[in-house]
């Protein structure tokens, strides 16, 4: 059975008011057919992994979760009434809960297996898996939003209806970029405080009043990963030089149909000899001085796996940059890093304002 991608236009139209019963059921039927096919593709992807990788406990338990979701989706009867739809929504919630921690788990598994599975193969596998994940999450989240809208309209919830003009499902038509940066940076400060007992200060400047059209959860993910890197590097710098933590500067700008964020840190930059590896999955220098080079695998004495005992909330799996790049490029954005070795990094995230006429070919 083939996958049936939807266009970006269709995805946005789904949540265009009014939300009717017919629309909800029609979209549920699309998902009912589509989800098992998309899960089957992921299951197949795992089945093609080398045996030694597939038996890794983290990879294997992720595989089991996908397999169970595939089976459950395949067996779920076609949604024909609103009462079927309620059950369907419950299943979606259950499955999305089962996938909540799956990426760190997969990251850990691949980290442990990296000596058995070449970098190019690993990147190919993970690029595909993550794109599939983004696609399935988008069509599912859009359906959940449609269902919510329908419930709100049916209950005469005027507050929700007013909000309906701002959001088209999970797409925010007036996303305030500086506000997202502020919230994410404060969140990362809190993570640093918990993991290291301190955190850098930050400033946001530039065109701070910009609003654009984007998916808030995607934006928050990318900003958080990039800020974690900048804040961590700044903390390391202060530790290595026994000086004040250098502050991080975040500058926002608007171009033609796109917005840009530059995150500038003074955390010592990326050594040129590892610069071309930072977008590789499982590449991390966490646990060493960044000038020491990448972390070597040190097999744990007891079980032969790499010890991750000193894992923190801020860094350590080498998934932040490659995943952020995929998210950025999904709707035609870019992610670039310019490093001033020994001084700091400028990280540039450019994102198009999601527009159907600019991106008519995007298939989800
Ligand atoms: N702002 C930065 N300054 C210095 N080095 C950086 C910076 N951003 C990334 N790096 C380097 O790139 C490596 C890979 O970054 P990435 O975000 O992919 O992984 P990580 O931060 O090590 O772990 P994870 O993000 O999965 O928790 C880092 O380990 C670090 O060596
Ligand atoms: Mg990171």
81-96 pLDDT per residue, tens: 999 999 999 999 999 9
27-66 pLDDT per residue, tens: 999 999 999 999 999 999 999 999 999 999 999 999 999 9
Q: Which of 202, 223, 245, 284 to mutate to test the pocket of ligand 1 (most atoms within 8 A of CB)?
A: 284
104-133 pLDDT per residue, tens: 899 999 988 988 888 899 999 999 999 999
Q: Which of 318, 322, 344 to mutate to test the pocket of ligand 1 (most atoms within 8 A of CB)?
A: 318
Q: Which of 234, 318, 315, 252 is nearest to 279 (CA)?
A: 318
For ligand 1, say whether the CB of 200 is within 6 Å of any of its atoms.
no
pLDDT recorded at residue 189:
98
Q: Could you tell me which residue, 156 or 251, shows the higher pLDDT?
A: 251
Atom of ligand 1 nearest to the CA of 321: 18
Using pLDDT thresholds of 50, 70 and 90, give the confidence band for residue 168. confident
242's torsion region: left (phi>0), alpha (psi -120 to 50) or beta? left
Q: How far, in Å, is the centroid of ligand 1 from the Cα of 249? A: 18
Distance CA 39, CA 17 (A): 30
Q: Could you tell me which residue, 327 or 162, shows the higher pLDDT?
A: 327
Q: What is the mean pLDDT of residues 215-239?
A: 97
Per the confidence metrics, is the pTM higher than 0.85? yes
Q: Whose CA is nearest to atom 7 of ligand 1?
A: 229
Distance CA 145, CA 147 (A): 5
Using pLDDT thresholds of 50, 70 and 90, give the confidence band for residue 243. very high
- Cβ-count burial of 332 within 10 angstroms (0-12 exposed, 13-18 middle, 19+ buried)? middle
pLDDT of 1 strictly over 80:
no
Cα–Cα distance list, 169 to 13, 67, 166, 266 (Å): 9, 28, 9, 39
The 167-168 sheet, strands edge to edge = 167-168, 171-176, 211-214
Distance CA 147, CA 121 (A): 39
Per-chain mean pLDDT for the chain: 88
Cα–Cα distance list, 105 to 87, 108, 111, 317 (Å): 28, 5, 10, 10
For ligand 1, say whether the CB of 231 is within 6 Å of any of its atoms.
no
Q: What is the mean pLDDT of residues 191-217?
A: 96
Listed in order, strand segments (DSSP E) in 131-229 are 167-168, 171-176, 202-206, 211-214
Cα–Cα distance list, 215 to 57, 142, 233, 320, 352 (Å): 33, 11, 28, 18, 11
pLDDT recorded at residue 301:
28
pLDDT recorded at residue 158:
61
Q: Whose CA is nearest to atom 31 of ligand 1?
A: 285
For ligand 1, say whether the CB of 315 is within 6 Å of any of its atoms.
yes
pLDDT recorded at residue 307:
34
Q: What is the mean pLDDT of residues 337-347?
A: 97
For ligand 1, say whether the CB of 199 is within 6 Å of any of its atoms.
no
Q: What is the mean pLDDT of residues 141-166?
A: 79
SS3 118: coil
Q: Could you tell me which residue, 287 or 19, shows the higher pLDDT?
A: 19
- Cβ-count burial of 219 within 10 angstroms (0-12 exposed, 13-18 middle, 19+ buried)? buried
297-329 pLDDT per residue, tens: 332 322 333 333 345 667 788 999 999 999 999
User: What DSSP element (H or E) covers 100?
Assistant: none
Q: Could you tell me which residue, 9 or 90, shows the higher pLDDT?
A: 90
Highest averaged pLDDT of the listed ranges 9-18, 152-161, 246-255: 246-255
Pair of tokens at residue 221: 């993910």
Ion ligand 2: residues, Cβ under 5 Å: 229, 315, 320
For ligand 1, say whether the CB of 246 is within 6 Å of any of its atoms.
no
Torsion of CA 123, 128, 134, 136, to 10 degrees: -150
pLDDT recorded at residue 84:
97
Cα–Cα distance list, 53 to 62, 63, 109, 123 (Å): 12, 11, 8, 14
pLDDT recorded at residue 360:
59
């Amino acid at each position: 059975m083939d996958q049936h991608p939807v266009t970006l236009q269709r995805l946005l139209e789904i949540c265009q008011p009014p939300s009717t019963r017919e629309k909800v059921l029609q979209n549920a039927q699309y998902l009912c057919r589509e989800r098992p096919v998309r899960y089957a593709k992921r299951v197949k992807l795992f089945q093609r992994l080398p045996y030694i990788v597939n038996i890794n406990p983290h990879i294997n338990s992720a595989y089991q979760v996908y397999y169970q979701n595939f089976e459950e989706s395949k067996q779920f009867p076609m949604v024909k009434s609103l009462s079927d739809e309620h059950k369907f929504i419950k299943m979606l919630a259950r499955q999305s809960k089962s996938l909540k921690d799956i990426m760190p788990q997969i990251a850990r598994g691949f980290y442990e297996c990296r000596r058995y599975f070449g970098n190019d193969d690993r990147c190919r596998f993970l690029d595909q898996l993550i794109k599939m994940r983004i696609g399935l999450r988008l069509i599912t989240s859009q359906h959940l939003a449609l269902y919510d809208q329908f419930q709100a309209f049916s209950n005469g919830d005027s507050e929700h209806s007013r909000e309906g003009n701002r959001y088209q499902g999970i797409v925010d038509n007036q996303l305030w970029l500086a506000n997202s940066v502020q919230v994410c940076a404060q969140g990362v400060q809190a993570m640093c405080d918990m993991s290291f007992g301190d955190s850098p200060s930050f400033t946001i400047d530039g065109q701070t009043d910009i609003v654009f059209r984007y998916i808030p959860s995607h934006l928050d993910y990318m900003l958080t990963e990039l800020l974690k890197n900048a804040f961590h590097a700044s903390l390391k710098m202060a530790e290595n030089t026994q000086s004040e933590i250098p502050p991080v500067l975040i500058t926002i700008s608007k171009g033609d149909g796109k917005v840009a964020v530059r995150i500038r840190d003074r955390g010592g930059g990326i050594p040129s000899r590892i610069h071309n590896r930072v977008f590789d999955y499982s590449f991390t220098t966490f646990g060493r001085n960044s000038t020491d080079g990448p972390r070597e695998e040190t097999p744990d004495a007891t079980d032969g796996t790499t010890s991750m005992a000193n894992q923190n909330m801020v860094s350590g799996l080498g998934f932040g940059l490659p995943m952020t790049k995929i998210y950025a490029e999904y709707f035609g954005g870019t992610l670039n890093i310019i490093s001033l070795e020994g001084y700091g990094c400028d990280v540039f995230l450019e994102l198009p304002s999601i527009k159907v006429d600019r991106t008519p070919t995007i298939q989800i």
